[in-house]
């Protein structure tokens, strides 16, 4: 009689999974020129041993525009944020480490535009 119980638990867990989707469009510029450092779209999971889980990594195009898309099946609510690594505000960009900025996004938003 244990098999039906295991099957019911598996079905209820599968039904609780939701597809979380994020699409972020934007344009990155730095002091009137475009910075071609990486832009990372990341998802933060509250119930994970590793709280940062990268959904996608992209580099901006030659005009600075970018589009980050990612999705995952989640049991719990997720907090989305965009992490941008850049060298803005640094005089000698090639010899300096990158800076990091994070932009919090609402998990219920399907699309967010950052300009």
What is the domain count for the chain?
Answer: 1
Full residue range of the structural domain in which residue 30 is found:
18-114
CATH of the domain at 31: 2.60.40.3330
Q: Is the residue at 3 inside a domain?
A: no
Helices assigned H by DSSP within the chain: 2-16
- Give the span between the Cα atoms of 34 and 63, in whole angstroms: 6
Q: Is the residue at 7 inside a domain?
A: no
Task: State which residues of the chain have pLDDT below 50.
Answer: 1-15, 43-50, 107-115
Strands 111-114 and 18-27: parallel
pLDDT in tens, 49-81: 445 667 777 877 777 778 877 777 666 666 677
Q: Is the residue at 46 inside a domain?
A: yes
């Amino acid at each position: 009689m244990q098999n039906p119980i295991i099957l019911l638990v598996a079905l209820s867990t599968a039904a609780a999974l939701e597809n979380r989707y994020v699409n972020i469009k934007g344009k990155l510029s730095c002091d009137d020129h475009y910075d071609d450092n990486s832009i990372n779209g990341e998802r933060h999971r509250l119930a994970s041993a590793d709280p940062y889980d990268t959904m996608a990594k992209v580099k901006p195009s030659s005009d600075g525009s970018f589009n980050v898309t990612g999705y995952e099946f989640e049991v719990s609510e997720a907090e989305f944020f965009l992490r941008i690594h850049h060298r803005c505000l640094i005089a000698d960009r090639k010899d300096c480490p990158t800076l990091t900025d994070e932009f919090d996004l609402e998990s219920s938003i399907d699309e967010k535009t950052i300009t």
